[in-house]
Structure 1
């Protein structure tokens, strides 16, 4: 279990505390930090290849960009609009949700947010009271526990490893449940592992949540990025009786290569969406109207561009897994979704590599950046030391060159 937000030191006068305990406890996003460092080194002239950020290398499709250009020219988009989102975008998100996952919702159950991160925070803030526990399967995306704690909740980690394909079982979830448990987080496909739960596995978790009256927050941001025989399962569509205590977060970032446009959304029961909308009305007001118009073109359009990107990601997935598994001391399960590989590097820790003996995956990631000029994210960022996360959402040539450098460096490992 993670510690809850630290309490202020009562021996210090409030006026002398420079940063609040609540905000001071928030860690920097490790993935963004790695990406920023890689970009800074590249700007300084070093040939760094970055596997850090979960960001498609494709441009946003032209028809979406054109919708934004037209929106810029229309004066109605230069003004405030409803804090919860443009009515036509909310209706389109509801229609897209029915089309893609079979989950029927009304536009009044949709809140448009400034990206997926705001969606996650506002969802937790709307349903958590101080001390409420949220079960978070690990490896987890770095933002989940921070959002829980910022909302006053307590993250409770349940760890899965490569032996189960990074998927937790109902038995593990039950062992973590207490009288304070309010929410279980469900993410499939997963960041950082690419794990995808089967329909039967998802149903078992949903029925367990129902049995104990728990809320479910499900992150569906990678819904269209599944490969091979894997398939995406939307819990509230699979188990309609769960809908009254289920909150879905999603967005355009990954599906449509729109990470910089910052448009996400929350879908949930009307009272929860109303509460979250009230919060947003004071925090940010409406999302940029131009970005919302672009998102409207995205979700109302077809999925042809998505299919092309998925084909490229699938090709890269197979390449990176093969190359990583050729390194002695590395084991990488084949991800079934998203665009991340999450290899175990426990077999390399303590080995000598160019005069250094990294004892943690954090130290190994630093060595790889220094010696191979390749940026990866260590498992510590995702709650599971001993692993690395590599995003394969980058060009094929850079992917092969980057992993080749890692192969060469780690191939020098000696006892």
Structure 2
């Protein structure tokens, strides 16, 4: 008699993690034929010139392993771009690393510096990978809320959360999901708060080129005190409408980069070669990323004008390609239930803001993405006008 094969029991490293709300809402949107304004990715193509450069690199035979830290020419153009935009000179050889997207960059930064028992401050609402990354490293997540209503940083609360065990703080500007952008004064307050401590900064700046109404992006690299303690994370996928390529960068001082690369070498080793060469050639022309604020501001303004014809109240959208809306004039449902209703009954998928808080903090706010073709936005707005 044969006994059934036995699969050993596995104690989960992330016991509280289930299927993400993004997966759930995208599946529901597909099932109901809803316009998917939930997940943050464009439904339009990138510049054909970028595809041509990657294709050319493939055909030239640039298809074997590149150096572990990234193709040298790409690291050089990234360092030049940061110097030009933010005034900080990173050494391309020892301070710039090419990563498999920003999510890998953030995980690797955390794994290289967080030891069991260390505390890491995150500002809620926050991107859903931050807390699991800290837990995987054995660290303790310390959650500090951004100010409800405005989503501005509360430095008194951040200061109160700091302790001798604080190893790092994660900051995201332009901010997903609230679409706020930290001011220079706020970044300088952060600098003053961290000065004289051993606290590291992980600065998630993937939406750096999506800032509106003439407001600049203030990079951590532009403030010497922050640059000296920061892993600055950026994303080609966000900037060039190729989220599926999963290529990002980390800029950090040489001692921090040395530790970052020790982990990077063994969790990724390196990033695909022809895309790196294609990006390096494409970056010769700064026009595409310099034009991005105007490109997305036009979409934001089109979307906000349409929302003004609905009962949804558009909150400020200073940066990113997201728009949050207060739906209290429409419904008293909890956020996740409202987003399900919006998807199934109205045909527009959104993400509840509560998904970005531990334990789901309810404010009657949903997040919509306007990185879509104009006709996609118009279809969504026609449907939203019905509520």
Q: TM-score, normalised by structure 2?
A: 0.90
Q: Where does residue 17 of structure 1 map in the other structure? A: 9
The answer on 1:276 being equivalent to 2:260 is yes
Summarize the Cα distance change of 1:78–1:315 in structure 2 as closer, same or farther, 3 Å threshold: closer
Matching residue within 169, 172, 179 for 1:184: 169
Task: Verify the 8 A CA contact 2:121 2:166 in the aligned structure 1.
Answer: yes
Rounded Cα–Cα distance in structure 2 between residues aligned with 1:209 and 1:340:
29
Deviation of 1:406 (Å): 2.5
Rounded Cα–Cα distance in structure 1 between residues aligned with 2:95 and 2:27:
36
Matching residue within 265, 277, 280 for 2:249: 265
Rounded Cα–Cα distance in structure 1 between residues aligned with 2:27 and 2:90:
38
Matching residue within 151, 176, 179 for 2:137: 151
1:211-237 deviations in Å (ceiling 9; x for gaps) = 444211111111111111311111232
Summarize the Cα distance change of 1:245–1:27 in structure 2 as closer, same or farther, 3 Å threshold: farther
The answer on 1:402 being equivalent to 2:380 is yes
Task: Verify the 8 A CA contact 2:209 2:292 in the aligned structure 1.
Answer: no
Higher RCO, 1 or 2 (CA under 8 Å, sep at least 6)?
A: 2
Which consecutive unaligned segments of at least 5 residues does structure 1 have? 1-14, 351-357, 410-415
Q: Where does residue 230 of structure 2 map in the other structure? A: 246
Summarize the Cα distance change of 1:58–1:282 in structure 2 as closer, same or farther, 3 Å threshold: same
Q: Where does residue 4 of structure 2 map in the other structure? A: none
Matching residue within 251, 276, 300 for 1:292: 276
Secondary structure of the residue that 2:170 maps to in structure 1?
strand
Aligned pairs for 1:155-174 within 5 A: 155-161=141-147, 163-164=149-150, 166-174=151-159
The number of residues matched between the two structures is 376
Which consecutive unaligned segments of at least 5 residues does structure 2 have? 1-6
Deviation of 1:382 (Å): 1.1
The answer on 1:111 being equivalent to 2:97 is yes
Deviation of 1:29 (Å): 3.8
1:292-350 deviations in Å (ceiling 9; x for gaps) = 1122123x32232335543232122223334445544x433221111101123355553
Q: Where does residue 207 of structure 1 map in the other structure? A: 192
Q: Where does residue 127 of structure 1 map in the other structure? A: 113
Matching residue within 383, 389, 398 for 2:367: 389
